[in-house]
Amino acid sequence: MSTRFADSRLPVPTAGLTRRDLLSIPWGNDGDPRVGHWIRVHRRAMACRFEITLSGERAAEIPAAREALEEAERLEALLSVFRETSEISRLNQQAGVGAITASDDVVALLSRCQDLSESTGGAFDITSTPLSRCWGFLRREGRVPADSEIDRALGLVGMDALSCDEETNRVSLSKRGAAVNLGAVGKGFAVQAIGAALWRRGVREALVSAGSSSILALGGVNDGWTIDVTAAGPARRVLARLRLRNAALGTSGAAEQFVEVNGHRYGHILDPRTGRPASGIINATVISADAATADALATAFFVGGIELARTYCDTHPGTLALITPDDQSWRPRIVGRYRGATVEEM
C-alpha cells in the first residue's frame, strides 16, 4: 500500500488500514428510520433523470427540492434543440440570416461557452453540430465519412461564427448551416440553476445530479459528500472515490457509447479541432466551482487529454481534473486542485 501523489498537490492520505475501516461495523441507525437514509426527489427532463438527494432527516426540504427541479424544465424549454420554439432552435434557424433576442440565462451561458472555448483552445465547441451530423452516417450506415465531407463540416464549425451581446441580449450565428448545440453543457447549467434555486430556498446540504454525469454538491458534512467516479461499460469500475464540499463535478466518457467499424473503435465524442472522434482517454472528470463549467471542461479534457488539462489547471486555479487514459490501467491521473475536493484511495 503506497501513497499516491501523481500530479496532485492535494492532501492524499496514506493508505493502510484506517481505524475507521476496522471499526466500521454497521450498528444500524439510532432506531429512528429517518437517519441513515437518502431521500431522492427526482423528475425527468432533458432526456435524463434530474435528482436531488437529501439526507434522511431533512424531509421538510422536499417541497423546496420539488420547486427547484422546475428549473430543469424551464431551461430545457430555452435550450433544447429538439424543441422548435426554444431560443437555441430559433438561433439556429436564423443562422446566417439575423439575430434573435435571448433571455439572460441563455446569453450568460453562450458567453461562458465562448470563454471556455477560448481557454481550451477550441477543444470545447458548441458549434460542432455539423460535424456530428457528418459522423451520423457512422451510426446509421456504418461508414466513416470521407475527408472532404469532414472538411466541409469543419468549415461550418467555429465559435467565431457566434456573436453574443450581453448588453442588448442579441445573439446570432454568422454562417448559414452553422448550428449551436448545448448538449455538452446544458445539463450542467441546469444542475447549477437547480442548486441556486435550492440555496435561495434555504437548503444548504444537498446533492443535485442530472443523469449521473453532472453533479453539484451543496455543503457536505464530515469530509464532504462521497461520490464514486465510475467508468460505465461491461466492467463497472470505480476509478476514484471523491469527497466533495461545495463543489461541482462533470464527467465525460466513452466506455459505453462507441461504434465499431472494421475493427476500429470510434467514440461518440468528436474533437472539434480535427473533426475526428477523440481517442486516448477513457474518462475525464472535472471538479470546479460551477456545474456548467465542470460539464464543459469534462468534454474538453476528454478531447484534449492530459496536456490540455495541465495547461488549463495551471492557468485556472480551482479546477481539479481526473483523466483516465485508455491504456487498460484504469488509473486516473490527477491534475490541479480544488479546495473542497479530496481524492481518496480506492
Partner 1 sequence: MPTLSRAQGTALVLLRTLIGWHFLYEGYYKLVLPAWARGGTPMAKWSAAGYLAGATGPLAAPFHALGAVAGSWIDLAVPIGLVLVGLSLMLGLFTRAGCWGAMLMLALFYLSAIPLTGTPVPGQEGEYLLVSKNLIEFVAVAVILVSRTERIAGLDLLLPSTRTPAATATTA
Partner 2 sequence: MNLTPEQQAIGRRNFLKAVAGVPALAGLGAAAAISGPVRGGPMRIGFIGVGGEGRVLLAQVDPAYATVLAMADINPSQLAKADDVLQKQGRRAATHYADWQDMIAHEDIEGVVVAVPLWAHADIVCECLDAGKHVLCEKMMAWDVAGCERMRQTALKNRKVLEIGYQRNYNPMYQAAHDGIIKTGLLGDVYLSRILWHRNGNWRRQGEPPSKDYNPSKWGYPTFEHLWNWRLYKRYSRGLIAELASHEMNIVNWFFGAEQTSVMGTGGIYRFKDGREVPDHVYATWEYDGGRTAVFSSIESNAFDHYYEAFFGTKATLILQGEAEAYLFDEATGRPATGLEVTPKGSGPALEASESRVADAAGRGAGASTTPGDRLLAYKNEISAFCAAVRTGAPLLCGPDRAMGSARACIMAVEAIEKKTRLEIPPPVAART
Asked whether the beta carbons of 281 and 326 are under 8 A apart, the reply is yes
Tell me the closest approach of the beta carbon of residue 10 to partner 1, in angstroms: 10
Cβ closest to partner 1, residue 23 vs residue 235 = 23
Residue (of 209, 186, 184, 182) closest to 68 by Cα position: 209
Pick the binder of partner 1 from 16, 136, 142, 155 (CB under 8 A): 16
Q: How far apart are CA 304 and CA 252, in angstroms?
A: 12
Cβ closest to partner 2, residue 150 vs residue 208 = 208
Question: Going by C-beta distance under 8 Å and a sequence separation of 6 or more, which residues neighbour residue 25?
Answer: none
Question: How many of the other CB atoms lie within 10 Å of CB of 18?
Answer: 12
Query: Residue 187, interface with partner 2 (CB under 8 A)?
Result: yes
Q: How far apart are CA 150 and CA 41, in angstroms?
A: 43
Pick the binder of partner 1 from 2, 30, 85, 235 (CB under 8 A): 30
Phi/psi at 49 (5° precision):
-95, 115
Please give the size of the binding site for partner 2, defined by CB under 8 A.
61
Query: Residue 221, interface with partner 1 (CB under 8 A)?
Result: no
Query: Residue 339, interface with partner 1 (CB under 8 A)?
Result: no
The residues in 265-284 that bind partner 2, with binding defined as CB under 8 A, are: 283
Mark the segment that binds partner 1 (CB under 8 A) among 24-32, 57-65, 154-162, 304-312.
Answer: 24-32
How far is the CA of 47 from the CAs of 43, 82, 128, 210, in angstroms?
Answer: 10, 11, 20, 10
Pick the binder of partner 2 from 90, 226, 259, 325 (CB under 8 A): 226
Query: Residue 234, interface with partner 1 (CB under 8 A)?
Result: no
Q: Which helix (H) or strand (E) holds 284?
A: strand 281-288
Query: Residue 51, interface with partner 2 (CB under 8 A)?
Result: yes
Query: Residue 215, interface with partner 2 (CB under 8 A)?
Result: yes
Pick the binder of partner 1 from 70, 105, 165, 344 (CB under 8 A): 344
SS3 232: coil
Cβ closest to partner 2, residue 45 vs residue 91 = 45
Query: Residue 128, interface with partner 2 (CB under 8 A)?
Result: no
Asked whether the beta carbons of 1 and 16 are under 8 A apart, the reply is yes
Pick the binder of partner 2 from 15, 47, 97, 261 (CB under 8 A): 47
DSSP 8-state class, residue 263: T
The residue with cell 495541465 is 310
Please give the size of the binding site for partner 1, defined by CB under 8 A.
22
SS3 145: coil
Cβ closest to partner 1, residue 25 vs residue 60 = 25
Query: Residue 69, interface with partner 2 (CB under 8 A)?
Result: yes
Question: How many of the other CB atoms lie within 10 Å of CB of 78?
Answer: 22
Q: How far apart are CA 262 and CA 284, in angstroms?
A: 26
Residue 209 interacts with, from partner 1, partner 2, none (CB under 5-8 Å by kind): partner 2
Q: What angle (nearest 5°) sits at the alpha carbon of residue 134, between those of residues 305 and 89?
A: 95
Residue 189 interacts with, from partner 2, partner 1, none (CB under 5-8 Å by kind): none
Residue (of 272, 274, 238) closest to 255 by Cα position: 238
Binding region for partner 2 (CB under 8 A): 24, 26-29, 31, 33-34, 36-45, 47-49, 51, 53, 56, 59-63, 66, 69-70, 73, 187, 207, 209, 211-213, 215, 225-232, 238, 241-242, 249, 251-257, 283, 285
Query: Given the rule CB under 8 A, which residues bind partner 1?
Result: 11-14, 16-25, 27-32, 223, 344
